[in-house]
Amino acid sequence: MADLSTTYMGLALKNPILVASNSLTGTIDGVRRCAEAGAGAVVLKSLFEEQIVAETDALNQYADYTGAAEAYDYIQGYGMELGPQDYLKLVTQAKQSVPIPIIASLNCISSKRWTDYAIKLETAGADAIELNVGIMPTQAKLEGLRVIDQYLQILFDVKSRVKIPVAMKVGPYFTNFANFVDRLSHDRAEAPAYSVGWFGKNREVGNLTWKGADGLVLFNRYYRFDIDLENMALTHGNPFSSPNEIHYTLRWLSLLAGKAGCDLAGTTGIHTGQDVVKAILAGAKVVQICSTLYLNGLEQISRMKEDLGGWMDEHGYAKLCDMRGKLSQKMSKQPEHHERLQYLKLLSGIE
Ligand SMILES: Cc1cc2nc3c(=O)[nH]c(=O)nc-3n(C[C@H](O)[C@H](O)[C@H](O)COP(=O)(O)O)c2cc1C
């Protein structure tokens, strides 16, 4: 039987199938069930800055109620100190309860909270941190490069404060994703300050070396915006992906494999063992799955592992590293095929 073990950001995993950050991984019971079901690792539900602020605000209200002016400032600090206690407890308990790596996930807005909470998650025992970064670029006067700088700034701030590996999980909307990944993922003697204003101008970098991300998770599948016609109100679309959504994930895994300076994790649209095979052939170190677990139950992890191992046996691959990236652009004799966007009549077969 093929060996499914691998590493991801330096963590040793029994298999490359991770449970992605979602509500199933937001409780200790859920984490245990994922581990029992055979996941290689678990990414905990994200801790959102809104939760941190809510907890601080709740304490502030208490300060208002007591009417003590000094208490307000004290409790403001106290709130930040305690923060979402339950989340930190979850990290520690998860580490104590299951033998697989625990990756904590963080989504903040302000720079201070990114770093403060990354440090707290490390202290709580997380094996790694996934930065769930999603910036909605709606400011018409903000240049595209400035938006990219915000992603890099977050990574820099966190990487320079924690020792555990750090991955960044991003959505699919970038003008030049290859350039973003190049800047994000490679260690450099200098910060990748291609755009004016970042580092040199606004920040003291001192002698800090730019440390690239340890992992890149592509792509987050964000909340689907929709409109409810009956109620004339905003609503949301299907929270679960369909297997049809794998194509963009595969495309970018295959374009980045062997070029990005970090491990690649594929997510969105990976529903079956065959999908895992595709992601690894494209160049993924691991996959992160979510929708298929809601749709097919946690038993899907075993099925996917079996199908992955079965495919490897059938095709003569003893280890994942023997097949990883075989169908990446870097290893292709026809690299232009990975960049094809338009259907040619000849290829579509439906005209
Ligand atoms: C109910 C639900 C909750 C999620 N919560 C988070 C989250 O807290 N943080 C995060 O980074 N991704 C979150 N995601 C996104 C998933 O981690 C995953 O990246 C996405 O669903 C694509 O993978 P899939 O096609 O296997 O579903 C959530 C997804 C769902 C369906």
- pLDDT tens digits, one per residue of 120-151: 999 999 999 999 999 999 999 999 888 998 99
Give the pLDDT score at 200: 42
**Which of 289, 290, 294, 304 to mutate to test ligand 1, by most ligand atoms within 8 A of the CB atom?**
290
Nearest ligand 1 atom to alpha carbon 43:
17
CA dihedral 270, 274, 276, 281 (to 10 degrees): -120
Q: Whose CA is nearest to atom 19 of ligand 1?
A: 220
CA 290 – ligand 1 centroid, Å: 6
Which residue positions in the chain have pLDDT lower than 70? 52-83, 189-209, 345-351
Residue 220 Cα: closest atom of ligand 1: 19
Is 179 exposed, middle or buried, given 0-12, 13-18 or 19+ CB atoms closer than 10 A? middle
pLDDT for 75: 38
Output the pLDDT for position 48. Answer: 85
Number of Cβ within 10 Å of residue 287's Cβ equals 27
Name the residue among 102, 101, 129 with its Cα closest to residue 115: 129
pLDDT on residue 345: 65
Residue 259, exposed/middle/buried by CB under 10 A (0-12, 13-18, 19+)?
middle
**Positive/negative CA dihedral, 242, 317, 256, 185:** positive
Q: Which of 33, 6, 1 is nearest to 279 (CA)?
A: 6
**Cα of 179 from ligand 1 centre, angstroms:** 25
* Amino acid at residue number 239: P
pLDDT recorded at residue 291: 98
Give the per-residue pLDDT at 346.
61
Q: From the CA of 219, how far away is ligand 1's center (Å)?
A: 10
How is residue 18 written in tokens?
């991770």
Model pLDDT, residue 68: 41
Cβ–Cβ < 8 Å for 28, 93 = yes
- Continuous segment of H or E residues that includes residue 170: strand 166-170
Q: Given this model, what pLDDT does residue 207 score?
A: 52
| Predicted pLDDT of residue 193 | 54
Bridge-based pairing of strands 11-13 and 6-8 is antiparallel
Q: For ligand 1, pick from 46, 221, 296 the residue to mutate: most ligand atoms within 8 Å of CB.
A: 221
